[in-house]
């Protein structure tokens, strides 16, 4: 029972983001003409999942130790799982899970270094630094906290997947990785609104604390527009197939979330449908983009 309770700290429903980013990296590699080997694909998927579990469980543990976990306004999309608040005796188990999953991630990364050389090493090292420093240090810098989610899940995970499957990078993978970069930044940005005061009390200093929800929502809109522009321009430049425009279908969800964020600010937790829309566009857009590349490969 204790193990099952500890697993709640992985925030299972959100772990879909890692496979989606892997899917996009696989799509870029496949569209670029590379053969995908099953063993490497399984290892990439496992490494991405372990990295996501690690950052989630480190975050849960640190938020529990700081007292933040007991003071957040929990929604289905923000505020943590509450698992350690309900079962504090599992704290050491959650910390052990965080370290174990991080070690597995590192070992898988080393395998690809041996397999393909040092080209993937900078991405892996930066990814590990983000996992270890996110809760305690990155959340105290408005700019770093704003871009760290997209950097980790977008640029590093998508490009890392491509390299692990092909042994090199391509212009295409950096282009498509920009889409989850912008949208994953938005995913975390909007989810910070309900917890501005509790976050401030424990020393966090992220973008909504520093500049308020209005300015943060403007940034949200700029990120949405940037993601759209990347896809449209890439299609016009023949970097992406026309079918990739299907990835724009969920964008109205982002517009809905943005309008709601302007209207409700830090009271957005009372409108969970808006947070759900933000999650939806962050998952569906890169997923559809990855599928479009696989279909056209």
Find the range with the poorest average confidence among 6-20, 49-63, 191-205.
6-20
Q: What is the pLDDT of residue 4?
A: 54
Q: Which residues contact 150 (CB under 8 A, 6 or more apart)?
A: 180, 181, 182, 183, 184, 185
Q: What average pLDDT score do residues 75-95 get?
A: 70
Residue 77 has pLDDT above 80, yes or no: no
Q: What is the pLDDT of residue 74?
A: 66
Residue 51 burial class via C-beta count within 10 angstroms: exposed 0-12, middle 13-18, buried 19 and up: buried
What is residue 72's DSSP assignment?
Answer: S
Q: Please report which confidence band the pLDDT of residue 69 belongs to, taking 50, 70 and 90 as the band edges.
A: low
Q: What is the pLDDT of residue 60?
A: 85
Residue 61 has pLDDT above 90, yes or no: no
Q: Which residues contact 17 (CB under 8 A, 6 or more apart)?
A: 52, 153, 184, 187, 282, 283
**pTM for this one?**
0.92
Q: Please report which confidence band the pLDDT of residue 41 belongs to, taking 50, 70 and 90 as the band edges.
A: very high
Q: What is the pLDDT of residue 93?
A: 87
Residue 288 has pLDDT above 80, yes or no: yes
Q: Quick one: residue 72, left, alpha or beta (phi over 0 = left, psi -120 to 50 = alpha)?
A: beta
Q: Please report which confidence band the pLDDT of residue 65 belongs to, taking 50, 70 and 90 as the band edges.
A: confident
Closest CA to 160 of 173, 171, 150: 173
In the chain, where the domains are located: 17-296
Q: What is each CA distance from 45 to 19, 50, 130, 174, in whole angstroms?
A: 6, 9, 19, 19
For 242-286, how does the pLDDT look when each residue is reduced to its tens digit (9 = 90+)?
999 999 999 999 999 999 999 998 899 889 999 999 999 999 999
Q: What is the pLDDT of residue 6?
A: 56
Q: What is the pLDDT of residue 75?
A: 67
Which residue in the block uniquely carries the two structure tokens 């289905």?
76
For 119-150, how does the pLDDT look when each residue is reduced to its tens digit (9 = 90+)?
899 999 999 999 989 888 999 999 999 999 99
Q: What is the pLDDT of residue 238?
A: 94
- Two tokens at 297? 């490969």
Q: What is the pLDDT of residue 7?
A: 66
The secondary structure of 199-249 as a DSSP string is HHHTT---HHHHHHHHHHHHHHHHHHHHHHHHHHHHHHTTSS-GGGGGGGT
Rg of the chain in Å (alpha carbons): 19
Q: What is the pLDDT of residue 86?
A: 67
* Spatial separation of the C-alpha atoms in residues 155 and 173, rounded to whole Å: 9
- Two tokens at 223? 């990120």
Tell me if 290 sits within 8 A of 23, measured CB to CB: yes
């Amino acid at each position: 029972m204790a193990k099952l309770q500890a697993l709640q700290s992985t925030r299972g429903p959100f772990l879909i983001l890692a496979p989606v980013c892997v899917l996009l990296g696989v799509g870029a590699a496949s569209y670029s003409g590379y053969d995908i080997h099953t063993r490497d694909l399984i290892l990439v998927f496992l490494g991405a999942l372990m990295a996501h579990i690690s950052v989630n469980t480190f975050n849960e543990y640190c938020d529990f130790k700081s007292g933040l976990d007991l003071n957040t306004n929990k929604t289905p999309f923000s505020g943590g799982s509450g698992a350690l608040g309900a079962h504090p005796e599992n704290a050491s188990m959650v910390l052990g899970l965080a370290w174990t999953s991080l070690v597995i991630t590192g070992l898988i990364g080393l395998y690809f270094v041996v397999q393909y050389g040092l080209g993937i090493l900078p991405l892996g090292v930066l990814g590990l630094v983000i996992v270890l420093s996110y809760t305690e240090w990155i959340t105290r810098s408005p700019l770093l906290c704003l871009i760290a989610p997209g950097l980790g899940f977008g640029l590093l995970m998508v490009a890392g997947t491509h390299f692990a499957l092909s042994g090199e990078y391509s212009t295409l993978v950096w282009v498509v990785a920009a889409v989850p970069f912008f949208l994953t930044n938005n995913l975390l940005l909007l989810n910070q609104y309900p917890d501005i005061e509790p976050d401030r009390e424990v020393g966090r200093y992220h973008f909504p604390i520093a500049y308020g929800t209005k300015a943060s929502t403007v940034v949200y809109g700029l990120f949405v527009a940037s993601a759209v522009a990347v896809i449209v321009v890439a299609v016009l430049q023949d970097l992406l197939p026309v079918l990739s425009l299907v990835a724009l279908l969920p964008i109205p969800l982002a517009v809905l979330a943005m309008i709601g964020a302007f209207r409700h600010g830090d009271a957005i937790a009372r409108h969970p449908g808006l947070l759900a829309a933000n999650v939806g566009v962050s998952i569906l857009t890169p997923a559809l983009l990855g599928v479009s590349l696989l279909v056209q490969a």
